């Protein structure tokens, strides 16, 4: 499974059928999944489980990555 670290947060990019890992608690972690083949959803690893970050669904991968970075940045303040 591909992943990257941007601005101190880890973002996973699971392929269809891959299970998300249980990451360490030392770093904020998000995952971007494909929804309905067109939109991207953002999940966060919170309290030892993956939770959907609600709306919006993003139209492209870049928007989803920026959504994760914004959420991660605001959580550290």
pLDDT digits (tens, 9 = 90+) for 2-28: 999 998 899 999 988 899 999 988 889
* pLDDT band, residue 77 (cuts 50/70/90): very low
β-bridge mates for residue 4, sequence order: 11
Angle at the Cα of 30 (from 27 to 36), degrees rounded to 5?
170
Q: pTM for the full model?
A: 0.86
Q: What is the pLDDT of residue 76?
A: 54
């Amino acid at each position: 499974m591909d992943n990257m670290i941007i601005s101190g947060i880890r973002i996973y990019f699971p392929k269809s059928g891959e299970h998300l890992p249980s990451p360490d608690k030392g770093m904020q972690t998000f995952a971007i999944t494909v929804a309905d083949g067109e939109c991207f959803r953002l999940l966060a690893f919170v309290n030892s489980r993956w939770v959907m970050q609600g709306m919006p669904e993003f139209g492209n991968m870049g928007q989803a990555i920026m959504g994760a970075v914004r959420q991660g940045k605001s959580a550290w303040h």
